[in-house]
Structure 1
Amino acid sequence: MTEQKAENITSIPIDGFSNLRITSIWTFLMSVQWSEPWLIGLLVFHAVCLCLTVVTCRYYRAQILHFLLMVILVYTAEYLNELAAMNWKSFSNFQYFDSKGMFISLVYSIPLLLNTVIIVMVWVYRTFSTMTELKTLQLKRKARREKREKND
């Protein structure tokens, strides 16, 4: 039994940069060399996307455009992963782009999807607010009509 356990432990990959055994998403993210310029640029890109998500809350059409752009970027992640896997030596020190797309999903797609979820939550909140205002106006109008009919 201990031989099977030892065999299972040795099958867990060890990261070349930090010498950590990659057993979870957290250890995977800890094994990434975040000081690489392209990763810093990606983090800045996500910060800009989040800022745009917040700023466009007041501008419905701009928010729709921003939402669609982010969805298109997530859709193209698979192609971007393939392209990056073929050309990783030109911009990175390590090959992060696996065939299953775990890395690109974690550092590229998930932050974009979180932004789109924030936008959808804002839209749902606005819809409920509008429905509440509409119902309130309907009830006020009905009360005024009933009051007029009583007075007449």
Structure 2
Amino acid sequence: MGYEADSIISPEDNIPIYFLRKTYDDLSWNGFVESVQSFINAVDWSQPWLWTLLGFHVITLFTILKLRNNTTSLAVITFGSNILKVLLVGLAKPINTLAHDNWQKFSIDNYFDKSGFFISMVFSFPLLCNSMFGIVLILNEVLHLLRKVKIAQIKHQRAKVSLLEEKRKEKQDDKKLKNK
């Protein structure tokens, strides 16, 4: 049962295209920027615990950047800390519940809702972004190493072919000398 272009009676019948258009309109860049701005404006960023958390994420990012030229250390830090990061992200819900119950001890406002949106944005999301950044740097280095290995293989193969060609020419020259 094929669907022909003329079998569409009205624009509403073409659901996938209109669905995508509606979704794109609903998730426009301006709406996203407004949501981010309202989130940033709603939080009092002068609180020490937020600065400490931000400092942790910045130190993690700078550590990854500092180690980007030392692939072995970067791999150890990235993959070793990924286990810790996955554990921390997995513990985000219990941490959120604990923070929701005890927010008066360290915060001015209770940002810790039941859905965990705030802790996801200020804790889990930066951890995951730092992990992804480290993995991208490692993959970039792996690609460079693969390129170097392939170039070395091609050079070796060319040298081998060249050597075989020289030996073949020597044999031909030897045969010519014997025939004279």
What interval of TM-score do these two structures reach, taking the shorter chain for normalisation?
0.7 to 0.9
2:39 pairs with 1:28: yes
**Judging changes above 3 Å, is the alpha-carbon distance between structure 1 residues 62 and 28 closer, same or farther for their aligned structure 2 residues?**
closer
Letter in 2 for 1:30: N
Go from structure 1 to structure 2 and tell me whether the alpha carbon gap of 1:113 and 1:62 turns closer, same or farther (over 3 Å shift): closer
Contact 2:78 2:135 in 1 (8 A): no
How far 1:130 sits from its partner (Å)? 1.4
| Superposition deviation, residue 55 in structure 1 | 2.4
Higher helix share: 2
In the other structure, the counterpart of 2:101 is 86
Name the SS of the counterpart of 2:67 in structure 1: helix
In structure 2, distance between residues paired with 1:27 and 1:124 = 35
Going from structure 1 to structure 2, the CA distance change for 1:108 and 1:85 (only over 3 Å counts) comes to same
Gaps of 5+ in 1: 1-22
TM-score by length of 1: 0.79
* Contact 2:100-2:112 within 8 A present in 1 as well: yes
Name the residue aligned to 2:50. 39
Q: How does 1:3-152 map to 2 (within 5 A)?
A: 24-57=35-68, 58=70, 59=73, 60-152=75-167
**Identity percentage over the alignment?**
32
Higher relative contact order (CA 8 A, sep 6+): 2
Q: Deviations over 1:42-64 (max 9, x none)?
A: 11111111112222331132332
Post-superposition offset of 1:123: 1.6
Q: What's the TM-score once normalised by structure 2's chain length? A: 0.67
Which consecutive unaligned segments of at least 5 residues does structure 2 have? 1-33, 168-180
C-alpha distance in 2 between matches for 1:150 and 1:30: 73
Q: Which residue identity is paired with 1:113?
A: L
RMSD: 1.5
Provide the rounded CA distance (Å) in 2 between the counterparts of 1:52 and 1:142.
40
Task: Give the residue type in structure 2 aligned to 1:114.
Answer: C
